[in-house]
Amino acid sequence: MAYKIENNEGIVTFTIDREEKRNAVNDEVMEGLKKVITYIKEHNEVKFLVITGSGEQAFCSGGDLSEFHLLKTEEQAFGMLSKMGNILYELATLPVPTIALVNGAAVGGGCEIATACDFRLVASHARCGFIQGTLAITSGWGGGTYLLERRLRYDQALKMLIDSKKYDAAHLHEIGWATQVFEGSKDQALEEFIFDIRKIHPEVHQAYKQIELRKWQERNIYERVMQEIRLCAKLWESDAHNEAVNRFLNKSK
């Protein structure tokens, strides 16, 4: 199984469990995300959702390039990107607060998943970034739109997208992407962060979340996400992208 879902007294945790691939997202992980989203929508008692990755090296390394590299044309790419884009939109607009427990690197689509969450608790050793530019594509799951909505300073958010590099945790905190940085155990960091939140009735959380989401509807976030995905799909079929992915997949051979 590529993922684990646990419910501990209303705190639902989704763990991507593909440590050997640095928790890259494949079709099975997408199905798991759909499942946990449906579960939360059907269970009013859920207080919040935590997303994390197995091991300490990576939260998520983005789309599984060994699988998705088989998609060559713009339309093939759009199919996969929009499937995950819709899942990420559902995640970003869940009625409960969401926490990315960033236990290690969050790059490419992994950084998009973390950005789609309400809070980002980042391990001090983790390096994160929208590195898609190094593959000659843009963010393809809607994460660019979420980043620009997260109220980071605009110039810092745009720089994060266009310099396409990994930032250290201290810098991510300084620019406002990381909610907080933790040392040591991720479970303890989560416990401390939710200590007060978990005492509050879930309907209160949901009411505050609704206020934020109403703003998202007014700002046409879904349409903007779909435009972002289309732009990425166009770049996907370029020679530059193909060559960059081949370089990554063959780097150790």
Binding site for ligand LP2KCY5N (CB under 6 A): 21-22, 24, 57-58, 61-66, 68, 105, 107-109, 112, 131-132, 135, 139-141, 248, 252
Indicate the residue among 186 and 209 with the shorter CB distance to ligand LP2KCY5N: 186
Indicate the residue among 10 and 133 with the shorter CB distance to ligand LP2KCY5N: 133
DSSP states of the chain: --EEEEEETTEEEEEE--GGGTT-B-HHHHHHHHHHHHHHHH-TT--EEEEEESTTTEEE-SB-HHHHTT--SHHHHHHHHHHHHHHHHHHHT-SS-EEEEE-SEEETHHHHHHHHSSEEEEETT-EEE-GGGGGT----SSHHHHHHHTTS-HHHHHHHHHS---EEHHHHHHTTS-SEEE-S-HHHHHHHHHTTGGGS-HHHHHHHHHHHHHHHHHTTHHHHHHHHHHHHHHHHTSHHHHHHHHHHHTTT-
Indicate the residue among 16 and 121 with the shorter CB distance to ligand LP2KCY5N: 16
Least separation in angstroms between residue 113's CB and ligand LP2KCY5N is: 9
Least separation in angstroms between residue 228's CB and ligand LP2KCY5N is: 9
Least separation in angstroms between residue 76's CB and ligand LP2KCY5N is: 12
Least separation in angstroms between residue 65's CB and ligand LP2KCY5N is: 4
Least separation in angstroms between residue 104's CB and ligand LP2KCY5N is: 8
Least separation in angstroms between residue 118's CB and ligand LP2KCY5N is: 20
Indicate the residue among 143 and 202 with the shorter CB distance to ligand LP2KCY5N: 143
Indicate the residue among 68 and 193 with the shorter CB distance to ligand LP2KCY5N: 68
Pairwise CA distance, residues 87 & 99, whole Å:
16
Indicate the residue among 18 and 209 with the shorter CB distance to ligand LP2KCY5N: 18
